[in-house]
Each structure stands twice: as C-alpha cells, then as structure tokens.
Amino acid sequence: METCVRALDAAYQGCGWVGPFGAPLPPECAAVAVGRRAAGDPCRSSLECQGGLHCAGVTPSRPGRCAGSAPAGTACGTGVDPLAALLRLDADRLRPECAGACRQHACVAPGGRGAACVSSAGCGAGLRCADGRCFEGAVAHAGEACGGGDCAPGLRCVAGRCLTPRPAGTPCRTDFECLGGCVRSDGGASTCGMRCDLR
C-alpha cells in the first residue's frame, strides 16, 4: 500500500494532469489487494480470489464463489465488483470471467491471431484487438494500433494509435491528446494545459 501511495503522490504532483480524465492509476497500485480465497470459496469480489480466479455469480445481494475462467456458452457479465471499482482496478482484465470473451452475456471462444474482434477481450492470451483484428502482444506500444485500454502504461489510445499524452503548452485538437486537457484560446491555437471547467 505504501508503494502505491508514493506512486500516487508522484502522479498528482503539480497541476498539469488536471483535465477530464485525471491521472492514470500507477502500475504500483495493481498489487494493493492479494486474493487468498481458493476455488469454491465464497467471495464478494474477484480481488479476494487467488491467482487468476474470479468471483463467479456475485451480485449486490448474494456472494459468489471463486472459480476459473468459464468456457464458451457459459452465462457471463451479470455480476458487479464494487471493491475493484473502488480501487480503480480492471478485475475483468486481471481475472477474466471467460476463457475467451463475454459477449451479450455469454462466453464465446477467444479469437486467434488475425481473427475479427471488437475488443481485446475477444482475442486469445497474449493477443490484443486493433483495427478490428487480433494482433500479437497483450499491449500496444507508442505508435502502434490500439483498440482502447490496451496501450502500455503511460500511453493513451487516440484515433486508433497509442501515444504519450502531451504536456502543457503543446498544440492539440482534443482532450485525449493531452496529459491534462486541450484548452481552447480566444482566437489562437489550442494547447494542452490544466482544464478545470469539466470537474
């Protein structure tokens, strides 16, 4: 926890990050919860489960059970994980509910390299979705095609490519390009900077 707090303090230094998206969660914070419950144990969050197990069947009023990723045809996407949301952790990516992807509340088989996809969850292990196809590599690097949340830490997916958010004073067209926000000036070019009007 102390490592996460130090990383958060560093991420929130200064005001250049202030904008519509906020500072990204530092990688050091991904380990604040260590699951100890084994397969079959009751749970209220996937973060309580060991390894890659997830909390299957959990609802706001009923606990679930720690289980491995489900095969194609299994019902999915019906639970909520408030602890993961509170800690800003993507439990679905860290501990997938399906061995493939969850589409329309049913697990489907993962796509292989070159298969059509909508998101990286639809691709197999070690693959990511970009430009509607499954590519090699779980994360995209600067300049590479991306499909959303699959860019390497510190990068952002903008117009289908991973890029490093630009610092204050850099020309911009949209908030997505900037570390903070894209500030429109009166009659001049827009530049990245602190943007408080959306808070």
The pLDDT value recorded for residue 39 is 96
Given a contact cutoff of 8 angstroms between Cβ atoms, the answer to whether 91 and 47 are in contact is: yes
Q: How many CB atoms sit inside 10 A of residue 30's CB?
A: 15
pLDDT tens-place values along the chain, 199 residues long: 899 999 888 888 887 778 877 777 888 888 888 899 999 999 999 999 998 899 998 887 889 999 999 999 998 888 788 888 888 888 777 788 888 778 888 988 888 899 988 777 778 778 888 888 888 888 889 999 887 778 888 888 888 899 999 988 899 988 989 988 898 877 778 999 888 765 4
The pLDDT value recorded for residue 198 is 57
The pLDDT value recorded for residue 16 is 76
The pLDDT value recorded for residue 48 is 94
C-alpha triplet 94, 163, 193: angle, nearest 5°: 110
Q: Using CA atoms, how far apart are residues 49 and 58, in angstroms rounded to an integer? A: 12
C-alpha triplet 74, 136, 30: angle, nearest 5°: 70
Q: Using CA atoms, how far apart are residues 197 and 188, in angstroms rounded to an integer? A: 19
Structure tokens at 151: 């860019």
The pLDDT value recorded for residue 49 is 95
Given a contact cutoff of 8 angstroms between Cβ atoms, the answer to whether 13 and 194 are in contact is: no
The pLDDT value recorded for residue 164 is 92
